[in-house]
Copies of this chain bind each other. A is one copy, B any other.
Amino acid sequence: MSWPAQVTGQRVSAELYVEVQQFYARQMPLLEERRLEEFLETFTEDGSIEHRPGGWRIEGREQLLAEMRQRRGDPDQPLVEEVSAREAREKNIAYYDGLVYRYWFDRMRVEPLGEGALRVRYQAIVSMTDFAGKVSFEPTTVVEDVLVGVEGELYTRSRLVTHDSPNWADKIHNPS
């Protein structure tokens, strides 16, 4: 794979664009399946995830793992009570218990940043399917990732999630 050589121009090659697509197609199902250690191995050691506005920023695989272990829940557990993202963090509630969540990305823009790094901008929405089959959606977001190539593999160095609702963190995410 020669992708670091391909990012010298202003437009990325089709090969690199497709590799980025396939990277996310490997990465995100790991999060959806709660394979948290494997998911975080697709981040750099100092990788970070930040939520705006009024959210939080967590840096480092260990710190991200600690946060995710407490929040990501289990689809086979009973459905989580009605709770907001902020309340779930404060009260240590497994936010996604009883839910299968899936991320839907669109409008992916891939731009070279130089030195083998890429900026990837996309919009995202999370669907939640509960045990009975009810489907609901979290508010939409715009995400900006920085990806880096290390020994021929892509890794996420940072993920900045900007929520389209300023009240996203206080919204009940699974209203009945």
Q: Which residues of A line the B interface, CB within 8 A?
A: 1, 11-15, 17-19, 21-22, 24-26, 28-29, 75, 100, 102-110, 121-123, 125, 127, 129-135, 137-140, 142, 164-168, 171
Q: How many subunits of this chain does the assembly comprise?
A: 3
User: Which residues on B sit within 8 Å (CB–CB) of A137?
Assistant: 127, 135
Chain B residue at minimum C-beta to C-beta distance from A122: B25
B110 touches A22 (CB 8 A): yes
29 contacts between A and B (CB under 8 A): A1-B11, A13-B14, A13-B18, A14-B15, A17-B21, A17-B22, A18-B18, A22-B109, A22-B110, A25-B107, A29-B107, A29-B142, A100-B164, A102-B164, A103-B106, A104-B104, A105-B106, A125-B127, A127-B137, A127-B140, A129-B139, A129-B140, A129-B165, A131-B166, A131-B167, A133-B165, A133-B167, A133-B168, A135-B139
